[in-house]
C-alpha cells in the first residue's frame, strides 16, 4: 500500500508546534491531540524537527524539572527522516523498525502533508496481508 492511500484513510492533519514552544506547552499539546510526537515547524508547513515523548523523557533525565521550561527546539530531534506519499507501507515499516523511530512526517516538495506512526503502518500492512490471504483462500476454494 502506498503512503498516499494510508493518508487518504487517516487524513493529513498534523499536530505541530513552533520551535519556541515550551516543553510544558508541548506536553500539553501531546496530551490534547492524543499523539506521541509533534512536528516542530516555524511556519506549519516546513519540518524543522520532531518532538516525541521519547525526546521529552530524555530531556527530563538530563535536565530534571527544569526541562519543562526549555523549548521544543532544545529537545527535538533535528535530523528528521521523512517520506514521500509514493513510499510503500512495507518500505516504511522496515525503515522505522531498523532505525527505531515511531513517527515519520510525509512531505511533498519539502512541505508537510501528513504524518504516519508505526501503528498506522502496521495496521495498514495487516489489512493488506488479510486481504491477500482472503483472495488466496477464495482462489483455492473456487469462490
Domain boundaries, the chain: 3-141
CA pair distance 94, 74, nearest whole angstrom? 29
Given CA atoms 54, 57, 62, 68 in this order, what sign does their dihedral have? Answer: positive
C-alpha–C-alpha distance, residues 3 and 139, integer Å: 28
The pTM score is 0.87
Pairing status of strand 103-108 against strand 111-117: antiparallel
Q: Range with the lowest mean pLDDT among 91-95, 112-116, 126-130? A: 126-130
The pLDDT value recorded for residue 16 is 97
Cα–Cα distance, 104 to 90 (Å, whole number): 14
Q: Given a cut of 80, is residue 112 above it in pLDDT?
A: yes
**Residue 128 above 90 pLDDT?**
no
**pLDDT score, position 137:** 86
Options 3.40.50.300, 3.30.70.270, 3.10.580.10, 3.40.50.10860; CATH of 3-141:
3.10.580.10
Q: Is the pLDDT of residue 55 over 80?
A: yes
Average pLDDT of the chain to the nearest whole number: 94
The upper half-sphere exposure of residue 54, i.e. CA atoms within 13 Å in the direction of its Cβ, equals 6
- In the chain, % of residues over pLDDT 70: 100
Task: Judge whether residue 135 has pLDDT over 90.
Answer: no
Q: Which of 24-38, 61-75, 90-104, 115-129 has the lowest mean pLDDT?
A: 115-129
Amino acid at each position: 500500500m502506498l503512503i498516499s492511500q494510508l493518508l487518504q484513510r487517516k487524513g493529513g492533519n498534523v499536530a505541530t508546534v513552533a520551535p519556541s514552544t515550551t516543553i510544558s506547552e508541548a506536553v500539553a499539546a501531546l496530551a490534547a491531540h492524543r499523539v506521541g510526537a509533534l512536528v516542530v515547524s516555524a511556519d506549519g508547513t516546513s519540518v524543522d524537527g520532531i518532538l516525541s515523548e521519547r525526546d521529552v523523557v530524555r530531556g527530563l533525565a538530563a535536565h530534571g524539572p527544569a526541562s519543562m521550561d526549555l523549548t521544543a527546539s532544545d529537545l527535538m530531534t533535528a535530523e528528521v527522516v521523512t517520506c514521500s506519499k509514493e513510499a510503500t507501507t512495507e518500505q516504511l515499516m522496515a525503515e522505522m523498525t531498523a532505525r527505531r523511530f515511531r513517527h515519520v512526517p510525509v512531505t511533498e516538495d519539502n512541505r508537510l502533508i501528513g504524518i504516519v506512526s508505526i501503528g498506522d503502518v502496521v495496521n495498514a500492512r495487516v489489512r493488506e496481508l488479510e486481504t491477500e490471504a482472503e483472495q488466496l483462500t477464495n482462489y483455492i476454494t473456487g469462490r
